[in-house]
Amino acid sequence: MKLAELIKMMGGASQFVKRGQRIAVKPNLLLAAEQEKAATTHSSLLTATGKIFGKVAGSIVLAESPGSGYAYDKKTLEKTYKVCGMQDAAETSGIELNYDTSFETVSFPEGKLVKRFEIITPILRCDSYINLCKLKTHGLMIMTGGVKNIFGVIPGRSKPGYHSTMTTQELFAGMLLDLVALVPPKLTIMDAVVGMEGDGPFNGTPRHIGLLIASTDPLSLDIVASEMMGIPAEKNPLLVEAKKRNLHPAGIEDVEIIGVPLEQIFLPGFKLPASFTAENKRVLGSLLKPLVKNSFTVDPRIIKSICTACGTCKKACPRDAIVINKVAIIDKKKCIRCYCCHEMCQYNAIELHKSLLYKLVN
């Protein structure tokens, strides 16, 4: 379905943007990757968003800080915009590209887990923003969609700090829910035209899905995407945490879907990340024998023949667990298995290695 039809179905652009307002669009620009990788929001969605909402808004700015391995600076933004097709899309649609790399620390006493966040300025200065996320798998959070995409409003090198303190899926999910409560998007549109399965969010496999999904509530959208991907709600860390907080909707039964029925958009055989199965095996391990509990693991492992020693993984690592000595070397004792290094390696030189016990029972 084309974006114009989707927005019309939801009541039109003026439902979300008042005439003359300054709005921001927040795509997923994990890193400077060609669009064929399906790691970033496709530029055609940015173009269409700019054309549709530009008829109402006074101005639209693209606001995003790429992943944790990259500084939030002009050089990173220029490269990322160019490689991801955003430069051309912005020119075609009249969207401004943001180069203001300032950010502010915002106090959030209502946060259940996090009481202050660092937020990039264009998100704080706009009247509202539209969240343009991508349907992908994710090593730590199993999937990334509407809610996880909002982590990109935190400046690049501040991100490892959040990973460092939110070391479990549960904590990270709680942090994300606080962040969304602080800066809720007006509208979330998911690029599920070509999504990513397997070991996402960067080194997975593109999968053609052919859908655009939109909601005023990113959590509702993620509940639907999770169902499509075949992730049981009780195994999706974000949805588990949302349920613990009694957030609405509590589950798929509370989400009203219009357009295409859910049964028609399931993705049969959708490949989830290795970490998803590992998490379940760990539960099995804890039941079997405490001694083998830590053997049901998926660890990041450097492929020495591919590693270029670029150092991006080292910058992304929240635990200082990586040194560069001709190639990257991971200190397993320090590693908390957040998979940020895997996410940030643009050379695909980090594999998610399954332990022997994991393989035996899998």
DSSP result, 157-218: GGHHHHHHH--SHHHHHHHHHHHHHHS--SEEEEEEEEEEESSTTTSSEEEEEEEEEEES-H
Closer to ligand SF4 by Cβ: residue 80 or 220 = 80
* Position among 311, 323, 360, 362 found at the interface with ligand SF4 (CB under 6 A): 311
**Binds ligand SF4 (CB under 6 A): choice among 24, 189, 345, 352:** 345
The binder of ligand SF4 chosen from 57, 223, 328, 352 (CB under 6 A): 328
**Phi/psi of residue 173, nearest 5 degrees:** -65, -40
271 to 310, contacts with ligand SF4 by CB under 6 A? 300, 302, 307-310
Interacting residue with ligand SF4 among 16, 349, 352, 358 (CB under 6 A): 349
Q: CA dihedral in degrees (230, 187, 123, 319; nearest 10)?
A: -10
Q: Would you say 266 or 347 has its CB closer to ligand SF4? A: 347
Of the ranges 76-84, 177-185, 230-238, 316-324, which one interacts with ligand SF4 (CB under 6 A)?
A: 316-324
Contact yes or no for 300/341 (Cβ under 8 A): yes
Tell me the number of residues near ligand SF4 by CB under 6 A. Answer: 29
Would you say 165 and 230 are in contact if contact means Cβ atoms under 8 Å apart? Answer: no
**Least gap, CB of 61 to ligand SF4 (angstroms):** 30
List the structure tokens of 75. 């050089």
Q: Which is nearer to ligand SF4, 226 or 346 (CB)?
A: 346
For 174: left if phi > 0, alpha if psi spans -120 to 50, otherwise beta; the answer is alpha
Q: Is 340 in the site for ligand SF4 (CB under 6 A)?
A: yes
- Min CB(202)–ligand SF4 separation in Å: 11
DSSP-derived letter for residue 289 is -
**Contacts with 290 (C-beta within 8 Å, 6 or more apart), sequence order:** none
Helix (H) or strand (E) holding 97: strand 96-97
Considering beta carbons, is residue 106 or 171 the nearer one to ligand SF4? 171
Which one of 122, 321, 352, 358 is in contact with ligand SF4 (CB under 6 A)?
321
25 binds ligand SF4, rule: CB under 6 A: no
> Which range touches ligand SF4 (CB under 6 A), out of 30-38, 45-53, 278-286, 334-342?
334-342
Contact region with ligand SF4 (CB under 6 A), list: 83-91, 114-122, 235-243, 312-320: 312-320
247 binds ligand SF4 (CB under 6 A): no
From the list 37, 148, 319, 354, which residue makes contact with ligand SF4 (rule: CB under 6 A)? 319
* Burial class of residue 342 (count of CB atoms within 10 Å of its CB; 0-12, 13-18, 19+): buried
Q: How many helices (H) and strands (E) does the chain have?
A: 14, 13
Q: With b meaning 16 or more CB within 10 Å and e meaning fewer, what string describes 273-287?
A: bbbbbbbebbeebee
Rule CB under 6 A: say whether 165 interacts with ligand SF4: no
Q: In the bound complex, what is the minimum distance in angstroms from residue 188's beta carbon to ligand SF4? A: 27
Q: Is 336 in the site for ligand SF4 (CB under 6 A)?
A: yes
Q: Name the site residues for ligand SF4 (rule: CB under 6 A).
A: 300, 302, 307-313, 316-319, 321-322, 324, 328, 330, 335-341, 345, 347, 349-350
